[in-house]
Amino acid sequence: MTALAHKTDSVSRDERERRDIVSGEILPEHRLLRFVAGPDGVVVPDVAAKLPGRGLWVEASRQAVAKAVEKKLFSRAAKAPVTATADLGERAEKALVTRMLGDLGIARRSGALVLGFDNVLRGLEGPKPPKVLIEAFDGAKDGKRKLYAAAHRMN
Protein backbone atom coordinates (compact mmCIF):
# COMPACT_ATOMS: atom_id res chain seq x y z
CA MET A 1 0.00 0.00 0.00
CA THR A 2 1.15 3.51 -0.69
CA ALA A 3 -0.10 6.90 0.32
CA LEU A 4 0.91 10.36 -0.77
CA ALA A 5 1.46 12.80 2.06
CA HIS A 6 -0.66 15.90 2.52
CA LYS A 7 0.39 18.95 0.51
CA THR A 8 -0.96 22.45 0.50
CA ASP A 9 -2.62 23.41 -2.76
CA SER A 10 -0.80 26.16 -4.60
CA VAL A 11 -2.97 25.78 -7.70
CA SER A 12 -5.81 28.21 -8.14
CA ARG A 13 -9.30 26.76 -7.97
CA ASP A 14 -10.01 28.43 -11.30
CA GLU A 15 -8.95 25.48 -13.41
CA ARG A 16 -8.25 25.89 -17.10
CA GLU A 17 -10.75 24.43 -19.50
CA ARG A 18 -10.36 23.15 -23.05
CA ARG A 19 -12.66 21.99 -25.82
CA ASP A 20 -12.77 18.25 -26.48
CA ILE A 21 -12.34 17.76 -30.25
CA VAL A 22 -14.56 14.66 -30.20
CA SER A 23 -17.64 15.81 -28.28
CA GLY A 24 -17.19 19.57 -28.57
CA GLU A 25 -17.73 19.89 -24.81
CA ILE A 26 -15.66 22.29 -22.76
CA LEU A 27 -14.04 20.26 -19.99
CA PRO A 28 -11.42 20.89 -17.30
CA GLU A 29 -7.90 19.98 -18.41
CA HIS A 30 -7.59 17.17 -15.86
CA ARG A 31 -10.28 15.23 -17.76
CA LEU A 32 -8.54 15.61 -21.11
CA LEU A 33 -5.42 14.39 -22.88
CA ARG A 34 -3.33 16.80 -24.94
CA PHE A 35 -2.00 15.79 -28.32
CA VAL A 36 0.15 17.79 -30.73
CA ALA A 37 1.21 17.32 -34.32
CA GLY A 38 4.95 16.80 -34.60
CA PRO A 39 7.10 18.44 -37.28
CA ASP A 40 6.47 15.42 -39.52
CA GLY A 41 2.69 15.83 -39.19
CA VAL A 42 2.20 12.80 -36.95
CA VAL A 43 -0.01 13.25 -33.88
CA VAL A 44 1.74 12.40 -30.59
CA PRO A 45 0.47 12.34 -27.00
CA ASP A 46 1.70 15.21 -24.80
CA VAL A 47 0.95 14.01 -21.26
CA ALA A 48 3.10 16.74 -19.71
CA ALA A 49 1.34 19.43 -21.81
CA LYS A 50 4.70 20.99 -22.56
CA LEU A 51 5.35 20.24 -26.23
CA PRO A 52 5.26 23.18 -28.62
CA GLY A 53 2.38 23.54 -31.01
CA ARG A 54 -1.36 23.81 -30.93
CA GLY A 55 -2.89 21.46 -28.40
CA LEU A 56 -5.51 19.02 -29.62
CA TRP A 57 -7.52 18.00 -26.57
CA VAL A 58 -9.45 14.72 -26.27
CA GLU A 59 -11.35 13.25 -23.34
CA ALA A 60 -9.06 10.90 -21.41
CA SER A 61 -10.57 7.62 -22.57
CA ARG A 62 -9.46 5.07 -25.10
CA GLN A 63 -12.85 5.22 -26.82
CA ALA A 64 -12.63 8.98 -27.34
CA VAL A 65 -9.09 8.78 -28.75
CA ALA A 66 -10.11 5.91 -31.06
CA LYS A 67 -13.10 7.93 -32.28
CA ALA A 68 -10.89 10.97 -32.94
CA VAL A 69 -8.50 8.80 -34.98
CA GLU A 70 -11.30 7.00 -36.84
CA LYS A 71 -13.16 10.18 -37.81
CA LYS A 72 -9.93 12.11 -38.57
CA LEU A 73 -10.85 14.76 -36.03
CA PHE A 74 -7.20 15.61 -35.35
CA SER A 75 -6.82 16.98 -38.90
CA ARG A 76 -9.96 19.05 -38.55
CA ALA A 77 -8.88 20.45 -35.16
CA ALA A 78 -5.32 21.13 -36.35
CA LYS A 79 -6.67 22.80 -39.50
CA ALA A 80 -3.97 20.92 -41.38
CA PRO A 81 -3.48 17.41 -42.70
CA VAL A 82 -2.01 15.36 -39.84
CA THR A 83 -1.63 11.62 -39.36
CA ALA A 84 -3.03 9.88 -36.29
CA THR A 85 -2.13 6.19 -36.14
CA ALA A 86 -4.53 3.53 -34.88
CA ASP A 87 -2.31 2.80 -31.86
CA LEU A 88 -2.50 6.41 -30.59
CA GLY A 89 -4.71 5.48 -27.61
CA GLU A 90 -2.30 2.75 -26.57
CA ARG A 91 0.71 5.08 -26.91
CA ALA A 92 -1.09 7.74 -24.84
CA GLU A 93 -1.86 5.20 -22.11
CA LYS A 94 1.78 4.05 -21.99
CA ALA A 95 2.95 7.67 -21.79
CA LEU A 96 0.54 8.34 -18.90
CA VAL A 97 1.69 5.26 -16.99
CA THR A 98 5.33 6.21 -17.51
CA ARG A 99 4.67 9.72 -16.25
CA MET A 100 2.74 8.50 -13.19
CA LEU A 101 5.50 6.04 -12.28
CA GLY A 102 8.06 8.82 -12.60
CA ASP A 103 5.98 11.09 -10.37
CA LEU A 104 5.60 8.32 -7.77
CA GLY A 105 9.37 7.77 -7.85
CA ILE A 106 10.00 11.45 -7.21
CA ALA A 107 7.45 11.44 -4.38
CA ARG A 108 9.13 8.40 -2.82
CA ARG A 109 12.58 9.96 -2.99
CA SER A 110 11.29 13.20 -1.45
CA GLY A 111 9.64 11.38 1.44
CA ALA A 112 6.11 12.34 0.40
CA LEU A 113 5.22 8.73 -0.48
CA VAL A 114 4.47 6.34 2.37
CA LEU A 115 4.84 2.62 1.67
CA GLY A 116 3.69 -0.41 3.64
CA PHE A 117 0.47 -1.27 5.44
CA ASP A 118 1.54 -0.14 8.92
CA ASN A 119 3.05 3.14 7.71
CA VAL A 120 0.00 3.96 5.61
CA LEU A 121 -2.36 3.15 8.49
CA ARG A 122 -0.35 5.44 10.82
CA GLY A 123 -0.45 8.14 8.14
CA LEU A 124 -4.23 7.84 7.77
CA GLU A 125 -4.71 8.15 11.51
CA GLY A 126 -2.15 10.96 11.89
CA PRO A 127 -2.73 14.72 12.13
CA LYS A 128 -2.12 15.29 8.38
CA PRO A 129 -3.63 12.34 6.53
CA PRO A 130 -2.60 11.72 2.92
CA LYS A 131 -4.71 13.11 0.10
CA VAL A 132 -4.33 10.05 -2.11
CA LEU A 133 -4.39 6.35 -1.33
CA ILE A 134 -3.09 3.97 -3.99
CA GLU A 135 -3.63 0.32 -3.27
CA ALA A 136 -1.21 -2.33 -4.46
CA PHE A 137 -2.43 -4.66 -7.16
CA ASP A 138 -1.18 -7.65 -5.20
CA GLY A 139 -2.15 -6.37 -1.74
CA ALA A 140 -4.04 -8.62 0.65
CA LYS A 141 -7.82 -8.18 0.54
CA ASP A 142 -8.02 -7.88 4.31
CA GLY A 143 -5.35 -5.16 4.34
CA LYS A 144 -7.14 -3.24 1.58
CA ARG A 145 -10.41 -3.50 3.52
CA LYS A 146 -8.80 -2.18 6.72
CA LEU A 147 -7.14 0.76 4.95
CA TYR A 148 -10.37 1.55 3.09
CA ALA A 149 -12.23 1.63 6.41
CA ALA A 150 -9.54 3.82 8.01
CA ALA A 151 -9.67 6.24 5.07
CA HIS A 152 -13.45 6.53 5.34
CA ARG A 153 -13.29 7.22 9.08
CA MET A 154 -11.36 10.39 8.23
CA ASN A 155 -14.44 12.00 6.67
**118-142: pLDDT as tens digits:** 998 888 888 888 888 888 888 889 9
Domain that holds residue 143: 2-8+101-153
Residue length of the chain: 155
pTM: 0.74
Residue 77 lies in a domain: yes
**Is 106 within 8 Å of 53 (Cβ atoms)?**
no
Number of domains in the chain: 2
How many whole angstroms separate alpha carbon 47 and alpha carbon 103? 12
**71-121: pLDDT as tens digits:** 999 999 999 999 999 999 999 999 999 999 999 999 999 988 888 889 988
Residue 46 CA to chain centroid, in angstroms? 12
Residue 91 lies in a domain: no
Residue 141 lies in a domain: yes
Residue 94 lies in a domain: no
Residues 27 and 79 in one domain: yes
Residue 72 lies in a domain: yes
Identity of the amino acid at 65: V
